């Protein structure tokens, strides 16, 4: 009762071919978002998702639409991610400025 109204549980660190993100309002599962799991490990994916979601809400989008768009944006950033040395990949948050499209 004193917690967050909405909670997004991300499946980013899970296993399997599909990523599953669950959006709850209170104790009720409102929507499950599924995306193909990408092959690398990423640094900054959660921050990218949180910032994109906050931007969508600031623009006045409804929560479910803001989450959907934020997940799509984050997924595309990860599709265009750059490796940092031999470790994790870094999301390309400016893919759109280089003419890349969402895939």
- The answer to whether residues 57 and 8 touch, using CB atoms and an 8 Å cutoff, is no
The pLDDT, as a whole number, for residue 84 is 82
Alpha carbons 80 and 82: distance in angstroms, whole number: 7
| Bridging pattern class, strands 82-83 and 28-36 | unpaired
4 token code pair? 């967050």
The pLDDT, as a whole number, for residue 70 is 97
Tell me phi and psi for residue 73, to 5 degrees: -60, -45
Q: What is the mean pLDDT of each run of 10 residues along the chain (103 residues)?
A: 87 81 94 92 91 97 97 93 87 84 59
């Amino acid at each position: 009762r004193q917690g967050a109204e909405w909670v997004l549980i991300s499946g980013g660190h899970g296993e399997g071919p599909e990523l599953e993100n669950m959006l709850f309002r209170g104790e009720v599962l409102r929507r499950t978002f599924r995306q193909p799991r990408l092959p690398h490990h990423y640094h900054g994916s959660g921050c990218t998702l949180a910032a994109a979601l906050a931007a969508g809400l600031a623009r006045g989008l409804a929560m479910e639409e803001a989450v959907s768009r934020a997940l799509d944006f984050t997924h595309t950033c990860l599709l265009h991610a750059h490796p940092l040395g031999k470790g994790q990949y870094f999301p390309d948050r400016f893919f759109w400025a280089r003419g890349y499209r969402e895939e």
